[in-house]
Amino acid sequence: MAMGSLLFRSLSLLVAAVAISCAFSSLGVSPFEWLRASKDNGFQISHPQIYTLSDDPLVVYVKDFISTQEAAHLVQLANGRFTPSSIWDNDGKSHIDKAYRLSMTAKLDRSDEIIKKIEERAISFPFYKLVGDFMPIVVQNYGISGQYRDHYDWFDDAQAVGGNIASTFFVYIHANCTGGGTNFARLTPPDDDSWCEFIDCDRPFDEGITFKPILGNAIYWENLQEDDAGHKMTLHAGMPVTTGNKMGMNMWTWKIA
């Protein structure tokens, strides 16, 4: 992939009783680090770093969004809850098509204290737009050959379903696999080799961007344009897992129509 320089962006956020530090990274952007206590109720706390990949649509990569302990807790919560994943039509109806989407889905209890803290952390990010509430948190489990072909997270007819998914956090909570990247076919790869830490730079340039499955890291993107129409540049896919297992957590913000 041909690489050059990436636009430097500086982010700032004021959080009560929390010291904040902005540090420059080799990616040429400003990672935003939370300096928190190392433990919270016995759980190790992550120190997220933010990298802006795209402004239109807004796509942000968050390194260390959750800690290893938090990820393990989410995996444990999901165990025993998995059912075959559905595909949602624009009229809000669901059906199962394993040729198009092969995975298992578990819905988690939002009353869990760790999930509450993760939601609070997500809302605190400077890029996040609080235009609605998080939908029930779900975990996607992809075994060998598991995938989800090209799709959008938004609905064509928001009126038919009473709203739309304004934004998405996708968090890797288990990544003991090969393959299984998250591909955005219509996004342009960045002009900076440092992004190869997170992006599969060996894939052809015309295939867009494929994020590597990395435990604890997250991708955030806005699904809707200013007029609330779905943004077609957010077309994405969960690439087939070739060995091992991948699990990801979805945090969708629902905006009422």
pLDDT band at 18 (very low <50, low <70, confident <90, very high): very low
Query: Full-prediction pTM beyond 0.95?
Result: no
Q: What is the pLDDT of residues 110-139, one digit of tens each?
A: 999 999 999 999 999 999 999 999 999 999
User: Is the model's pLDDT at 191 over the cut of 60?
Assistant: yes
Asked if omega into 189 is within 30° of 0 (cis), the reply is no
pLDDT band at 11 (very low <50, low <70, confident <90, very high): very low
CB 144 within 8 A of CB 243: yes
> What is the CB neighbour count within 10 angstroms for residue 7?
11
> Which DSSP symbol is given to 206?
G
Please name each of the domains of the chain with its CATH number: 19-256 (2.60.120.620)
| 254: its two tokens | 């629902």
Burial of 145: CB neighbours in 10 Å, binned 0-12, 13-18, 19+: exposed
Residue where the block lists tokens 């591909």 = 183
Q: What is the pLDDT of residue 90?
A: 75
Q: What is the pLDDT of residue 40?
A: 58
Percent over 90 (pLDDT), the chain: 77
The sign of the dihedral angle between the CA atoms of 85, 91, 93, 99 is negative
C-alpha pair distances (Å), 93 with each of 83, 87, 161, 208: 17, 8, 9, 30
Burial 19-42 (b: 16+ CB within 10 A, else e): eeeeeeeebbbbbbbbeeeeeeee
Report the C-alpha gap between 72 and 78 in whole angstroms.
10
Helices (H), the chain: 68-78, 113-124, 158-161
| 30: its two tokens | 């400003």
Q: What is the pLDDT of residues 132-173, one digit of tens each?
A: 999 999 999 999 999 999 999 999 999 989 999 999 999 999
Q: What is the pLDDT of residues 34-83, one digit of tens each?
A: 334 345 556 777 789 999 999 999 999 999 999 999 999 999 999 999 99
What is the chain's mean pLDDT, rounded?
Answer: 86
